[in-house]
Structure formats: structure tokens, C-alpha cells
Amino acid sequence: MGNEQINWKRVLILAGAVIAFTIGSGFATGQEIIQYYTAYGMKSILVVLVFAIAFLYYNFNFAKVGAEQKFERGNDVYKYFCGKYIGTFCDYYSTLFCYMSFFVMVGGAASTLNQEYGIAPWIGAVILTILAIITVIGGLNSLVDAIGIVGPIIVILCIAIGLITCIRDFGNISNGLEIIKTESFAGMGKESIKNAGSNWLISGLSYAGFVLLWFASFTSALGAKNNKKDLNYGIIGGTIAICVAIILVSFAQISNINTGLNDGKTFVWNADIPNLILAMKIWKPFSAIFAIVVFAGIYTTAVPLLYNPVSRFAKEGTNKFKLLTIVLGIVGLIVGLFLPFRVLVNIIYVLNGYVGAILILFMIRHNIKEVRLRNK
């Protein structure tokens, strides 16, 4: 690795890919940040630290193994670390996770248009589902271009919202921390702020765990096709950018934790799309624009999440593929409509986060065995 020349342009591209893959629709809505970081107050910094360490650890592992093994299928990385049977289970489970995450996208689309424009939730959900079904049936080439445009826009807008809010409301951060500590939330009834785990350590491992299920095949494929040093620097750069963005948005939410809409019921702490409230406070027309970008981001995330399980059981372009796309799309629509967005994120992402955290343990065991073999 020491003799490899660094291609800094390629490093930036790879860092951008890592960022775009991590900061998607869930990040843009702000719901992930609320549950995994903001809910822990000042300890959100510790959550970021746990996430960063775990994220770097498993991505370096995936990149190394991908470069060495040159897997035919990216998901074969599960069998490499976990063995034939558990690896096969993880392979199929990751497919199921993608489909369950599609439910979350449906709920997010419904909540985004409802919160910003007052549109009935079922309309936003139906629009997203129809667009996703049409795109999957028609092919994914156009989607790649869409992700290339929408991904960086989401990242830039989220960081801008976090930075502007933190600068403007810096004096409110201590008050927000006290509100979270004492659970003095505005309009609070029986329900309190949702969190991803019983403490900051569990939350950090859970967040790293559910992101792992997205990155396993992705990073191992990158490892097979890129210069090792370029990819490692790209992973480091992407991780730093992600952590900075998380901290900015989290403290922006903390400083406005009891800021709400005019309905007297929806506040940053309990809103489906808390970042829309932050955007609205900056400038009302900005939140209207941001809502469209969030919806576009949800769409570009939803399509591959629907495509993944369909393509696993049917060949693209066949009648079976088209029928399965329609059926799974409609089932996802029904589930996404009848379970609230915040509940979907809390159940599906957190559950899969724990599965991902278990996979990290298998990776650690595998690395320890490798070290022992080398020492022998």
C-alpha cells in the first residue's frame, strides 16, 4: 500500500459515494438523527464516536476482503466472515432488510408531503409507490443519473440547515440539552422522544449496524475495482464528512427541540420530518423547496430498495419480474401507510441495527483468527 500513488480526484469520488450512500432520505428527514443522536443530548457526541469507529472498522475490512477475494456477488462477503450457513442467512436477511426499508420510504414520502403541504398521507405514499414501480419495471439506468444529482444536493442542504441553525441558535443549545435531560418537551402527553436504544453505546452500535447491511456488498465491490489507498482515504474522508454533518444537524435539533408548527402539536422532538421545521425557521419558501428535495431523495432510495428483493427472485425484464414488482410495491404501500413513519424507523432500522452489530462480532472473531494464524 505504501508504494501506491494516491489519485486525489478518485479519493474525492469515493468519499462522495460513501457520503451519498450513508446520508440518504432518512438523514434528510432528520428522523434518524433525532432517534440515534439528538435523544441522548450531549452524549450524542459519544454516539458519533462509536459509529465512526465501527464504520471505519468494517468498511476497511470489506474493502480489504473485496480486493483480495474478487467476489462474483457482493453479498458473498457475508459467507466469508460468517461461514456458509450464517452467511447465507445474512445474505437473505439483507435482502429482506432492503424490502422492509422500502416500507420506511413509503411512510417518509407520505409524512413529508403531509407535513409541508397538508396533502393527505395516502396521496404521497401512492405517488412514491407508482414512481418506484414504474422505474423498477423500466430499468435502473435513469435512476443512477438521478441519484448522482439528488444525493449531493441533499447532503449540501442538510449541512447548510445544520450550520445556519447552529450559528443562529447557538445560545439555545444549553437550554435544549436541559429539556432533553429533564424530558420537558412542549406538548408532551404520554409519549416522549423516541430513541434507538437504552443508552448511547447501544445506539451507536445500532446505527453502525444497520448502515453495515447497506455497505457490505457495496464496499467489497469497491475494494475489487479500486486502488486500495484511494479507497481507504475515501472511506476516511467520507466518514469525517458524515460525522460532521451528523453533529451539525443534531445540535441544530437540540437548539430547537421545542420549536414547533402552528398546530401546537408538532415539534422538532416529535415531528415525522423534524428537518422541515428547521428549514421553515430559516425561511418559509426554503422549507417548501427542501420538502421536494427530500421527496426526491426518498424516491431515489426507494427504487433500489424495491429492485433488490424483486431482482433476487425474478429475472429483470420478465413478466414474473414485472408482476412481483407490482405486488411487492403494493404490499409496501399498505404497510407504509398503516404504520406511522416514526414507528417504522424505530422498529425496522433499530432491529436491523442489532443484526448488523452481531455481524461486527463475527468480523472481530474472524480478524482474531487471522492474527493467530499469522503468529503461528
Judge residue 338's burial from the number of C-beta atoms within 10 Å of its C-beta, 0-12 exposed, 13-18 middle, 19 or more buried: exposed
How many domains in the chain? 1
Residue 1 DSSP symbol: -
pTM above 0.75, yes or no: yes
Does some domain include residue 17? Answer: no
For range 168-188, the mean pLDDT: 94
Residue 189 has pLDDT above 80, yes or no: no
Does some domain include residue 376? Answer: no
Written as one string, the DSSP assignment of 163-186 is HHHHHHTGGGHHHHHHHHHHT--T
Which residue range is the domain that position 66 belongs to? 24-371
What is the per-residue pLDDT across 318-341, written as a single tens digit (0 to 9) for each? 899 999 999 999 999 999 998 887
Does some domain include residue 19? Answer: no
Terminal-residue alpha carbon distance, the chain: 24
Are 316 and 298 in contact by the 8 Å Cβ rule? The answer is no
Are 324 and 312 in contact by the 8 Å Cβ rule? The answer is no
**Residue 162, pLDDT score:** 93
Cα–Cα distance for residue pair 124/101, rounded to 1 Å: 17
Per-residue buried b or exposed e for 125-156, using 16+ beta carbons within 10 Å of the residue's own CB = bbbbbebbbebbbeeeeebeebbeebbeebbe
CATH of the domain at 113: 1.20.1740.10
Are 264 and 183 in contact by the 8 Å Cβ rule? The answer is no
CA distances from 189 to 95, 267, 371 (A): 38, 13, 54
For range 189-203, the mean pLDDT: 87
Q: Report which residue type is found at 346.
A: N
**Residue 199, pLDDT score:** 92
Does some domain include residue 16? Answer: no
Mapping DSSP to helix (H, G, I), strand (E, B) and coil, where does residue 259 land?
Answer: coil
